[in-house]
Amino acid sequence: MMANKLKKIAVLTSGGDAPGMNAAVRAVVRSAVYNNIECFGVYKGYEGLISDDLVKLNARGVNNIVNKGGTILKSARCLEFKTVEGRLKAKSTLDKYDIDSLVVIGGNGSLTGALLLEEEHGIKTIGIPGTIDNDLVGTRCSLGFDTALNTAVNAIDKIRDTASSHNRLFFIEVMGKGSGHIALNAGIGAGAEEVLIPEQDMGLDRLLDSLKKSEKSGKSSSIIVVSEGEKIGDNVFSFSSHIEKNLPHYEIRVSILGHIQRGGSPSSFDRVLASRMGVYAVDCLISNKSKVMVGIIDDNMVTIPIKDAIKGGQQLDKDLIRVCDIISI
């Protein structure tokens, strides 16, 4: 095998934790070791880079984590890294260990930080999309999305049991931070009557009409999945109180699924995806690729420049929206 020019790799997890991050860390470490490259784990995301909180990892150091939720490296939101001075400190820590390459597992903000570190200091960076929101461009899905979606569907199934026993109308808020991927997919998967997503402005009156129609067609209980997100304008409580005023005979309940969607053991899909992405991230560094995020398109590993991945607006599949409209009549 050709000797590679890489010195040492560091890996960190940053931003909101997502199931599958550990499996990705494990794959990066083992792939580095496999290729005879030293690998370090950085604790607490960019905070650990600034405060020099690193640990050398070998293949055995990442035993028994493929199945664990959260991140053994811990994550953090580090404001100092958003400053030029903070990134300079991070660079001097990396210099101290002679590390020239960094794999960042995280969302939009984390990858923005990675890009700046490379542009300002020449550290070779690769992004691995790790966010349940699935809002990065250039990959069909990010790590944690599949697990979060399954958790949401399981929770909605349970709520449906009580909704149908009491003829109740449930508004269920799922995570998404301005992106409707979890809501749309969970809505389809759990058979919701309506799905309210930031990408489509349903409008309160249309929602009301739709509920009246459902009632006429014989539905006595309903599940409405609402994506959290500032873009919707109203929150789940304002939706529910509007409906309560206009359809007073409905018994309405609101349920916010919240952080259960982030936790838990990653699905097998996320574990396999994380393993593929981790290995591919190291492959990219070895072949001298950087400033890119790895992704999955049509079941193939691909790269996309980080600058494009963080643009936002990962489109919802229009066909899914159509399917949702058709099957929820």
Residues forming contacts to ligand ATP in the complex (CB under 6 A) are: 14-16, 46, 77-78, 81-82, 106-110, 112-113, 116, 131, 133
Secondary-structure breakdown of the chain: helix, strand, coil percentages, each rounded to the nearest 5: 45, 20, 35
Q: Between 50 and 223, whose beta carbon lies closer to ligand ATP?
A: 50
Smallest separation (angstroms) from ligand ATP to the CB of 300 = 24
Look at strands 8-13 and 222-227 and give their pairing: unpaired
Using the minimum distance from each CB to ligand ATP, give the nearer residue, 13 or 267. Answer: 13
Q: Which residues contact 184 (CB under 8 A, 6 or more apart)?
A: 195, 197, 227, 316, 320, 321, 324
From 52, 95, 100, 133, the catalytic residue = 133
Min dist CB 156 to ligand ATP, Å, is 22
* Least distance from ligand ATP to the Cβ atom of residue 135, Å: 7
8 Å CB contact between 23 and 267: no
Token code pair at residue 273: 């995806």
Closer by beta carbon to ligand ATP, 69 or else 107: 107
Residue 159 β-bridge partners: none
Residue 223 or 316 with smaller CB distance to ligand ATP: 316
Helix (H) / strand (E) element for 145: namely: helix 145-166
CB 183 within 8 A of CB 270: no
Q: Which residue is nearest to ligand ATP (CB)?
A: 109
Contacting residues for 64 by C-beta, under 8 A, at least 6 apart? none
Least distance (Å) from ligand ATP to the CB of residue 298?
A: 24
> Is-catalytic flag, 298?
no
Alpha carbon separation from 153 to 85, 114, 150, 212 (Å, rounded): 44, 33, 5, 25
Q: Say if CB 169 and CB 243 are below 8 A apart.
A: yes
In whole angstroms, the minimum distance from the beta carbon of 280 to ligand ATP comes to 20
The three-class DSSP label of residue 9 is: strand
Nearer to ligand ATP, 14 or 22 (CB): 14
Catalytic residues: 133
